[in-house]
Amino acid sequence: MRLGLSVCFIWFVVDQVTKWWIVTHLMHPPRVIPITSFFNIVLGRNTGVSFGLLGDASPWLLVAIAAAIVTMLLIWMRRAESRVSGVALGLISGGAAGNVVDRLRHGGVTDFLDFYLGEWHWPAFNMADVGVVCGAVLLLVESLIFENHVKRDGRDVSPG
């Protein structure tokens, strides 16, 4: 649990510091900053959830839902038996907590990472989102590896 909480805290700080730096230092005036042929730094405010969904929902409803999710993730982290699960849940909960703070302070989430390829354009996102996705991928990979070990060993055991 301690490792997961450390990762949660570190990722929360990474998210908040990058958003603060983008807003206070880089985006005066707000503009598109091309970095590569497929990546820009932009400044966006997402009042919804992923991909702008639920943009018309009450900010307090979104905060309440996100806070409940973070609480459930921390309970799951407490019960996690592997270090990989702890790190993964720390990334997810740190990212989710970072976005909750944004909603409380700004009424929406600050997004600034902007990827595209030709006409295909991914919605802008932030480091909190990176943590959530990386944590989810870690959990998926861990579950697939565990499942393969169980099948190979002939054990019928569930992970945690």
pLDDT surpasses 60 at 88: yes
The one-letter code for the residue type at 6 is S
- Percentage, residues of the chain above pLDDT 70: 85
Question: What's the Rg (C-alpha) of the chain?
Answer: 18
pLDDT of residue 108: 87
CA angle 101, 104, 108 (to 5 degrees): 90
36 within a domain of the structure (yes/no):
no
Pair 124, 111: CB distance under 8 Å: yes
Nearest alpha-carbon partner for 83 in 23, 160, 156? 160
pLDDT of residue 137: 98
Which band of pLDDT confidence, cut at 50, 70 and 90, is reported for residue 26? very high
pTM above 0.85, yes or no: no
pLDDT surpasses 60 at 156: no
67 within a domain of the structure (yes/no):
yes
For 38-66, what is the mean pLDDT?
79
Catalytic residue (one of 15, 111, 114, 153): 111
Instruction: State which H helix or E strand residue 35 sits in.
Output: strand 33-36
Looking at the 3D structure of the chain, how many domains does it have? Answer: 1
Nearest alpha-carbon partner for 19 in 124, 133, 89, 92? 124
Which band of pLDDT confidence, cut at 50, 70 and 90, is reported for residue 61? confident
28 within a domain of the structure (yes/no):
no
43 within a domain of the structure (yes/no):
no
Parent domain of 124 = 2-22+56-153
Catalytic residue (one of 56, 129, 153, 156): 129
| Catalytic-residue membership of 156 | no
69 within a domain of the structure (yes/no):
yes
| Catalytic-residue membership of 111 | yes
Q: How far is the CA of 131 from the CAs of 22, 25, 61, 153, 159, in angstroms?
A: 18, 23, 23, 33, 23
Pair 139, 88: CB distance under 8 Å: yes
pLDDT in tens, 117-140: 989 999 999 999 999 999 999 999
